[in-house]
Protein backbone atom coordinates (compact mmCIF):
# COMPACT_ATOMS: atom_id res chain seq x y z
CA UNK A 1 0.00 0.00 0.00
CA UNK A 2 1.34 3.42 -0.96
CA UNK A 3 2.17 5.91 1.77
CA UNK A 4 -0.67 8.32 2.63
CA UNK A 5 1.19 11.37 1.21
CA UNK A 6 1.69 9.66 -2.15
CA UNK A 7 -1.99 8.66 -2.23
CA UNK A 8 -3.00 12.21 -1.43
CA UNK A 9 -0.79 13.63 -4.19
CA UNK A 10 -2.30 11.12 -6.60
CA UNK A 11 -5.84 12.11 -5.63
CA UNK A 12 -5.00 15.80 -5.97
CA UNK A 13 -3.39 15.25 -9.36
CA UNK A 14 -6.41 13.28 -10.58
CA UNK A 15 -8.80 15.95 -9.27
CA UNK A 16 -6.84 18.71 -11.01
CA UNK A 17 -6.83 16.72 -14.25
CA UNK A 18 -10.61 16.22 -14.08
CA UNK A 19 -11.13 19.87 -13.16
CA UNK A 20 -9.07 21.01 -16.13
CA UNK A 21 -10.97 18.62 -18.39
CA UNK A 22 -14.35 19.93 -17.19
CA UNK A 23 -13.15 23.51 -17.51
CA UNK A 24 -11.86 22.82 -20.99
CA UNK A 25 -15.18 21.21 -21.99
CA UNK A 26 -17.12 24.18 -20.61
CA UNK A 27 -14.89 26.56 -22.55
CA UNK A 28 -15.47 24.61 -25.74
CA UNK A 29 -19.24 24.62 -25.12
CA UNK A 30 -19.20 28.36 -24.46
CA UNK A 31 -17.21 28.97 -27.63
CA UNK A 32 -19.50 26.87 -29.85
CA UNK A 33 -21.08 28.85 -32.66
CA UNK A 34 -24.75 28.23 -33.38
CA UNK A 35 -25.66 29.01 -36.98
CA UNK A 36 -29.37 29.50 -37.56
CA UNK A 37 -31.37 30.19 -40.73
CA UNK A 38 -34.31 32.60 -40.84
CA UNK A 39 -36.90 32.84 -43.62
CA UNK A 40 -38.92 36.05 -43.93
CA UNK A 41 -42.09 36.84 -45.85
CA UNK A 42 -40.68 40.12 -47.12
CA UNK A 43 -38.45 40.93 -50.06
CA UNK A 44 -34.76 41.78 -49.55
CA UNK A 45 -35.26 45.55 -49.54
CA UNK A 46 -38.57 45.83 -47.69
CA UNK A 47 -38.25 48.75 -45.26
CA UNK A 48 -39.13 48.42 -41.58
CA UNK A 49 -40.46 44.85 -41.83
CA UNK A 50 -37.19 43.64 -43.30
CA UNK A 51 -35.20 45.86 -40.96
CA UNK A 52 -36.65 44.02 -37.95
CA UNK A 53 -35.10 40.71 -39.02
CA UNK A 54 -31.74 42.30 -39.74
CA UNK A 55 -31.71 44.20 -36.44
CA UNK A 56 -32.61 41.07 -34.52
CA UNK A 57 -29.83 39.03 -36.14
CA UNK A 58 -27.26 41.78 -35.49
CA UNK A 59 -28.30 42.14 -31.85
CA UNK A 60 -28.20 38.38 -31.26
CA UNK A 61 -24.72 38.08 -32.72
CA UNK A 62 -23.35 41.06 -30.81
CA UNK A 63 -24.89 40.11 -27.46
CA UNK A 64 -23.67 36.52 -27.79
CA UNK A 65 -20.16 37.62 -28.73
CA UNK A 66 -20.48 35.84 -32.06
CA UNK A 67 -21.95 32.58 -30.72
CA UNK A 68 -25.29 33.16 -32.48
CA UNK A 69 -25.04 33.74 -36.23
CA UNK A 70 -28.32 34.08 -38.12
CA UNK A 71 -28.57 33.95 -41.90
CA UNK A 72 -31.64 35.67 -43.36
CA UNK A 73 -33.29 34.40 -46.54
CA UNK A 74 -35.80 36.84 -48.03
CA UNK A 75 -38.76 35.84 -50.18
CA UNK A 76 -36.77 36.16 -53.41
CA UNK A 77 -34.50 33.35 -52.21
CA UNK A 78 -36.81 30.78 -50.63
CA UNK A 79 -39.66 31.60 -53.08
CA UNK A 80 -42.43 31.01 -50.51
CA UNK A 81 -43.41 34.33 -48.89
CA UNK A 82 -46.54 32.80 -47.34
CA UNK A 83 -44.88 29.48 -46.53
CA UNK A 84 -42.87 30.53 -43.46
CA UNK A 85 -45.05 28.56 -41.04
CA UNK A 86 -44.43 25.25 -42.83
CA UNK A 87 -40.73 25.87 -43.42
CA UNK A 88 -40.03 26.61 -39.76
CA UNK A 89 -42.33 23.84 -38.53
CA UNK A 90 -40.53 21.24 -40.64
CA UNK A 91 -37.08 22.45 -39.58
CA UNK A 92 -36.11 23.60 -43.06
CA UNK A 93 -35.55 26.94 -41.31
CA UNK A 94 -34.83 27.53 -37.65
CA UNK A 95 -36.56 30.91 -37.49
CA UNK A 96 -39.13 32.91 -39.39
CA UNK A 97 -40.36 36.50 -39.56
CA UNK A 98 -43.89 36.98 -40.83
CA UNK A 99 -47.43 37.76 -39.64
CA UNK A 100 -49.52 35.37 -37.60
CA UNK A 101 -52.76 35.90 -39.53
CA UNK A 102 -51.26 34.42 -42.69
CA UNK A 103 -51.73 30.96 -41.16
CA UNK A 104 -55.46 31.18 -40.44
CA UNK A 105 -56.15 28.67 -43.21
CA UNK A 106 -53.92 26.11 -41.48
CA UNK A 107 -54.45 26.98 -37.81
CA UNK A 108 -57.36 29.45 -37.46
CA UNK A 109 -56.46 30.44 -33.91
CA UNK A 110 -53.18 32.00 -35.05
CA UNK A 111 -54.93 35.02 -36.52
CA UNK A 112 -55.81 36.55 -33.14
CA UNK A 113 -52.16 37.35 -32.41
CA UNK A 114 -51.68 39.83 -35.23
CA UNK A 115 -54.50 42.38 -34.99
CA UNK A 116 -58.27 42.22 -34.72
CA UNK A 117 -60.87 44.54 -36.26
CA UNK A 118 -62.07 47.14 -33.77
CA UNK A 119 -59.63 45.63 -31.25
CA UNK A 120 -56.64 46.82 -29.25
CA UNK A 121 -54.26 49.51 -30.46
CA UNK A 122 -50.54 48.73 -30.42
CA UNK A 123 -49.76 49.82 -26.86
CA UNK A 124 -52.79 48.02 -25.46
CA UNK A 125 -51.92 44.85 -27.34
CA UNK A 126 -48.31 44.83 -26.12
CA UNK A 127 -49.62 45.15 -22.58
CA UNK A 128 -51.91 42.17 -23.20
CA UNK A 129 -49.05 40.08 -24.62
CA UNK A 130 -46.63 40.68 -21.78
CA UNK A 131 -48.93 41.31 -18.81
CA UNK A 132 -52.41 40.08 -19.72
CA UNK A 133 -51.79 36.46 -20.68
CA UNK A 134 -51.39 36.93 -24.44
CA UNK A 135 -47.96 35.29 -24.67
CA UNK A 136 -49.14 32.18 -22.83
CA UNK A 137 -52.14 31.81 -25.13
CA UNK A 138 -49.98 32.30 -28.23
CA UNK A 139 -47.58 29.55 -27.17
CA UNK A 140 -50.57 27.31 -26.45
CA UNK A 141 -51.70 27.71 -30.07
CA UNK A 142 -48.27 27.16 -31.64
CA UNK A 143 -46.96 24.37 -29.36
CA UNK A 144 -48.71 21.48 -31.19
CA UNK A 145 -46.91 22.53 -34.37
CA UNK A 146 -43.36 22.31 -33.00
CA UNK A 147 -43.22 26.11 -32.91
CA UNK A 148 -42.75 29.03 -30.55
CA UNK A 149 -43.96 32.51 -31.47
CA UNK A 150 -42.80 35.90 -30.20
CA UNK A 151 -43.97 39.46 -31.04
CA UNK A 152 -41.86 40.57 -33.98
CA UNK A 153 -42.57 44.27 -34.37
CA UNK A 154 -45.66 46.40 -34.76
CA UNK A 155 -46.41 48.54 -37.80
CA UNK A 156 -48.87 50.50 -35.62
CA UNK A 157 -52.39 51.31 -36.76
CA UNK A 158 -52.95 50.39 -40.39
CA UNK A 159 -54.88 52.37 -42.94
CA UNK A 160 -58.11 50.95 -44.32
CA UNK A 161 -56.65 50.67 -47.80
CA UNK A 162 -56.58 52.02 -51.34
CA UNK A 163 -59.80 52.01 -53.38
CA UNK A 164 -60.33 52.86 -57.01
CA UNK A 165 -63.87 54.00 -56.27
CA UNK A 166 -65.36 55.84 -53.32
CA UNK A 167 -67.31 53.80 -50.77
CA UNK A 168 -70.56 55.59 -49.94
CA UNK A 169 -72.68 52.71 -48.67
CA UNK A 170 -72.51 49.04 -47.81
CA UNK A 171 -73.76 48.27 -51.30
CA UNK A 172 -70.48 49.60 -52.73
CA UNK A 173 -68.69 46.68 -51.06
CA UNK A 174 -70.85 44.04 -52.71
CA UNK A 175 -68.64 41.96 -55.01
CA UNK A 176 -65.65 44.27 -54.47
CA UNK A 177 -62.43 42.36 -55.11
CA UNK A 178 -60.08 43.39 -52.32
CA UNK A 179 -56.77 42.10 -51.05
CA UNK A 180 -57.18 41.85 -47.31
CA UNK A 181 -55.87 38.97 -45.16
CA UNK A 182 -56.73 37.59 -41.76
CA UNK A 183 -59.94 38.03 -39.83
CA UNK A 184 -60.65 41.30 -41.64
CA UNK A 185 -60.94 39.32 -44.86
CA UNK A 186 -63.67 37.20 -43.28
CA UNK A 187 -65.45 40.35 -42.16
CA UNK A 188 -65.30 41.74 -45.67
CA UNK A 189 -66.70 38.50 -47.06
CA UNK A 190 -69.54 38.61 -44.53
CA UNK A 191 -70.62 42.07 -45.74
CA UNK A 192 -70.50 41.02 -49.38
CA UNK A 193 -66.99 41.79 -50.64
CA UNK A 194 -64.71 39.26 -52.35
CA UNK A 195 -61.47 39.22 -50.31
CA UNK A 196 -58.26 37.55 -51.39
CA UNK A 197 -54.72 37.25 -50.06
CA UNK A 198 -51.89 38.15 -52.42
CA UNK A 199 -48.15 38.13 -51.73
CA UNK A 200 -46.61 41.62 -51.30
CA UNK A 201 -44.61 41.47 -54.55
CA UNK A 202 -47.76 41.00 -56.63
CA UNK A 203 -49.93 43.74 -55.15
CA UNK A 204 -49.21 46.64 -57.51
CA UNK A 205 -49.63 44.55 -60.65
CA UNK A 206 -52.86 43.02 -59.37
CA UNK A 207 -54.32 46.45 -58.64
CA UNK A 208 -53.10 47.91 -61.93
CA UNK A 209 -54.49 45.07 -64.06
CA UNK A 210 -57.84 45.01 -62.30
CA UNK A 211 -57.38 41.60 -60.73
CA UNK A 212 -58.44 43.42 -57.57
CA UNK A 213 -60.41 46.65 -57.10
CA UNK A 214 -58.88 47.66 -53.79
CA UNK A 215 -56.26 46.59 -51.29
CA UNK A 216 -55.02 47.25 -47.82
CA UNK A 217 -51.31 47.09 -47.22
CA UNK A 218 -49.98 48.97 -44.20
CA UNK A 219 -49.62 52.75 -44.10
CA UNK A 220 -47.71 55.59 -45.78
CA UNK A 221 -44.24 54.27 -44.88
CA UNK A 222 -44.94 51.04 -46.74
CA UNK A 223 -47.48 52.26 -49.28
CA UNK A 224 -45.55 55.18 -50.78
CA UNK A 225 -42.84 53.07 -52.39
CA UNK A 226 -45.43 50.58 -53.65
CA UNK A 227 -47.08 53.30 -55.74
CA UNK A 228 -50.71 52.43 -55.00
CA UNK A 229 -51.62 56.12 -54.98
CA UNK A 230 -50.96 56.22 -58.73
CA UNK A 231 -53.80 53.77 -59.39
CA UNK A 232 -56.34 54.09 -56.56
CA UNK A 233 -56.95 57.67 -55.34
CA UNK A 234 -59.16 56.91 -52.30
CA UNK A 235 -57.19 56.27 -49.12
CA UNK A 236 -59.38 55.00 -46.28
CA UNK A 237 -58.68 55.31 -42.57
CA UNK A 238 -58.34 52.44 -40.11
CA UNK A 239 -60.79 49.88 -38.78
CA UNK A 240 -59.33 46.41 -39.29
CA UNK A 241 -55.77 46.46 -37.89
CA UNK A 242 -55.46 48.91 -35.01
CA UNK A 243 -52.15 47.40 -33.89
CA UNK A 244 -50.70 45.02 -36.44
CA UNK A 245 -48.05 42.76 -34.90
CA UNK A 246 -45.60 40.67 -36.89
CA UNK A 247 -43.99 37.57 -35.37
CA UNK A 248 -40.72 35.75 -34.93
CA UNK A 249 -41.34 32.02 -35.30
CA UNK A 250 -38.90 29.52 -33.77
CA UNK A 251 -38.59 25.81 -34.43
CA UNK A 252 -39.02 24.20 -31.00
CA UNK A 253 -36.25 21.64 -31.52
CA UNK A 254 -33.84 24.41 -32.47
CA UNK A 255 -34.86 26.34 -29.35
CA UNK A 256 -34.29 23.35 -27.09
CA UNK A 257 -30.79 22.77 -28.50
CA UNK A 258 -29.68 26.28 -27.56
CA UNK A 259 -27.97 26.85 -24.19
CA UNK A 260 -30.08 28.79 -21.67
CA UNK A 261 -28.04 31.99 -22.04
CA UNK A 262 -28.45 31.98 -25.83
CA UNK A 263 -32.20 31.50 -25.50
CA UNK A 264 -32.31 34.57 -23.28
CA UNK A 265 -30.17 36.51 -25.74
CA UNK A 266 -32.37 35.48 -28.67
CA UNK A 267 -35.57 36.40 -26.87
CA UNK A 268 -34.05 39.75 -25.86
CA UNK A 269 -33.06 40.38 -29.48
CA UNK A 270 -36.66 39.66 -30.51
CA UNK A 271 -38.04 42.18 -28.03
CA UNK A 272 -35.57 44.95 -28.84
CA UNK A 273 -35.98 44.49 -32.60
CA UNK A 274 -39.78 44.53 -32.18
CA UNK A 275 -39.69 47.78 -30.20
CA UNK A 276 -37.31 49.36 -32.73
CA UNK A 277 -39.65 48.39 -35.56
CA UNK A 278 -42.60 49.98 -33.78
CA UNK A 279 -40.88 53.33 -33.24
CA UNK A 280 -39.37 53.22 -36.72
CA UNK A 281 -42.83 52.66 -38.22
CA UNK A 282 -44.30 55.68 -36.46
CA UNK A 283 -41.46 57.94 -37.62
CA UNK A 284 -41.48 56.56 -41.16
CA UNK A 285 -45.27 56.92 -41.48
CA UNK A 286 -45.06 60.55 -40.43
CA UNK A 287 -42.27 61.28 -42.91
CA UNK A 288 -43.86 59.34 -45.75
CA UNK A 289 -47.26 60.92 -45.28
CA UNK A 290 -45.67 64.37 -45.45
CA UNK A 291 -44.08 63.38 -48.77
CA UNK A 292 -47.15 61.60 -50.09
CA UNK A 293 -49.59 64.40 -49.31
CA UNK A 294 -47.28 67.00 -50.84
CA UNK A 295 -46.39 65.12 -54.04
CA UNK A 296 -49.76 63.47 -54.67
CA UNK A 297 -52.26 66.17 -53.84
CA UNK A 298 -55.07 64.24 -55.55
CA UNK A 299 -55.11 61.58 -52.82
CA UNK A 300 -58.54 61.62 -51.19
CA UNK A 301 -58.43 60.54 -47.54
CA UNK A 302 -61.80 59.13 -46.49
CA UNK A 303 -63.43 57.60 -43.43
CA UNK A 304 -65.74 54.69 -44.07
CA UNK A 305 -69.34 55.89 -43.66
CA UNK A 306 -70.97 55.07 -40.28
CA UNK A 307 -73.34 52.62 -41.98
CA UNK A 308 -70.38 50.66 -43.36
CA UNK A 309 -68.48 50.66 -40.07
CA UNK A 310 -71.57 49.48 -38.21
CA UNK A 311 -72.06 46.63 -40.67
CA UNK A 312 -68.43 45.58 -40.37
CA UNK A 313 -68.51 45.73 -36.58
CA UNK A 314 -71.67 43.62 -36.51
CA UNK A 315 -70.03 41.11 -38.84
CA UNK A 316 -66.96 41.03 -36.57
CA UNK A 317 -69.07 40.27 -33.50
CA UNK A 318 -71.01 37.56 -35.34
CA UNK A 319 -67.86 35.85 -36.53
CA UNK A 320 -66.27 35.96 -33.08
CA UNK A 321 -69.42 34.48 -31.55
CA UNK A 322 -69.33 31.64 -34.07
CA UNK A 323 -65.71 30.90 -33.19
CA UNK A 324 -66.37 30.84 -29.46
CA UNK A 325 -69.30 28.45 -29.95
CA UNK A 326 -67.32 25.67 -31.63
CA UNK A 327 -63.70 26.11 -30.49
CA UNK A 328 -62.85 26.17 -26.75
CA UNK A 329 -59.35 27.56 -27.36
CA UNK A 330 -60.69 30.30 -29.63
CA UNK A 331 -63.18 31.15 -26.89
CA UNK A 332 -60.36 31.40 -24.35
CA UNK A 333 -58.36 33.76 -26.58
CA UNK A 334 -61.32 35.90 -27.64
CA UNK A 335 -62.59 36.29 -24.08
CA UNK A 336 -59.10 37.15 -22.85
CA UNK A 337 -58.76 39.88 -25.47
CA UNK A 338 -62.26 41.19 -24.86
CA UNK A 339 -61.82 41.39 -21.09
CA UNK A 340 -58.41 43.02 -21.37
CA UNK A 341 -59.65 45.52 -23.97
CA UNK A 342 -62.52 46.55 -21.68
CA UNK A 343 -60.09 47.20 -18.84
CA UNK A 344 -57.29 48.88 -20.77
CA UNK A 345 -59.56 50.99 -23.01
CA UNK A 346 -61.13 52.62 -19.96
CA UNK A 347 -57.66 53.94 -19.20
CA UNK A 348 -56.88 54.83 -22.83
CA UNK A 349 -60.10 56.85 -23.02
CA UNK A 350 -59.21 59.14 -20.12
CA UNK A 351 -55.50 59.35 -20.97
CA UNK A 352 -54.30 59.24 -24.59
CA UNK A 353 -57.71 59.72 -26.21
CA UNK A 354 -58.68 62.57 -23.90
CA UNK A 355 -55.37 64.31 -24.56
CA UNK A 356 -55.72 63.99 -28.34
CA UNK A 357 -59.29 65.27 -28.23
CA UNK A 358 -58.32 68.42 -26.28
Q: What is the pLDDT of residues 75-125, one digit of tens each?
A: 999 999 999 999 999 999 999 999 998 998 899 999 999 999 999 999 999
249 and 96 Cβ atoms separated by less than 8 Å: yes
Q: What is the mean pLDDT of residues 297-303?
A: 96
**Residue 10 confidence (pLDDT):** 53
**Residue 200 confidence (pLDDT):** 79
pTM of this prediction?
0.86
- pLDDT-based confidence at residue 221 (cuts at 50, 70, 90): very high
d(CA 225, CA 200): 12
Q: What is the pLDDT of residues 58-81, one digit of tens each?
A: 999 999 999 999 999 999 999 999
What count of Cα atoms within 13 Å lies in the side-chain half-sphere of residue 313? 11
Q: What is the mean pLDDT of residues 184-211?
A: 93
Report residue 30 CA to chain centroid gap.
32
Res 16 pLDDT > 60: no
- pLDDT-based confidence at residue 38 (cuts at 50, 70, 90): very high
- 3-state DSSP call for residue 177? strand
Residues forming a β-bridge with 65? none
Q: What is the mean pLDDT of residues 131-150?
A: 98
> Angle 243-282-110 (CA atoms, 0-180°, nearest 5)?
25
- 3-state DSSP call for residue 345? helix
CATH topology of domain 32-154+243-283: D-Maltodextrin-Binding Protein; domain 2 (3.40.190)
d(CA 202, CA 200): 5
Indicate the average pLDDT of the chain.
92
- pLDDT-based confidence at residue 199 (cuts at 50, 70, 90): confident
Domain ranges of the chain: 32-154+243-283, 158-240+300-326
CATH topology of domain 158-240+300-326: D-Maltodextrin-Binding Protein; domain 2 (3.40.190)
d(CA 203, CA 186): 19
Which is nearest to 180 in space by CA: 79, 230, 111, 77? 111
- 3-state DSSP call for residue 61? helix
% of the chain at pLDDT higher than 90: 86
Contacts of 187 (CB under 8 A, 6+ apart): 117, 240, 312, 315, 316, 319
216 and 161 Cβ atoms separated by less than 8 Å: yes
Which is nearest to 88 in space by CA: 100, 61, 76? 100
The string of DSSP letters for 242-304 reads: TT-EEEEEEEHHHHHHS-HHHHHHHHHHHHHHHHHHHHHHHHHHHHHHHHHHHH-TT-EEEPP
Amino acid sequence: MLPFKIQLRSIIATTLTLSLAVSSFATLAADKIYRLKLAETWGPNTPILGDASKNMARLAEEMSNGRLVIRIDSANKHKAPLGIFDMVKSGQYDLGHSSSYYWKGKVPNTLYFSSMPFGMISTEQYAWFYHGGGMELMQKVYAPHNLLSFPGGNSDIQMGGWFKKEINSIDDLKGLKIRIPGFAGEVMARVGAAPTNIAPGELYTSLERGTIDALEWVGPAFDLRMGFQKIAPYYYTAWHEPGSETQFLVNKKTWEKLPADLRTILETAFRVAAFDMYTQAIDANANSWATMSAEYSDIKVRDFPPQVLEAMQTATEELLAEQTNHDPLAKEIIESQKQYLTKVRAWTDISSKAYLNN
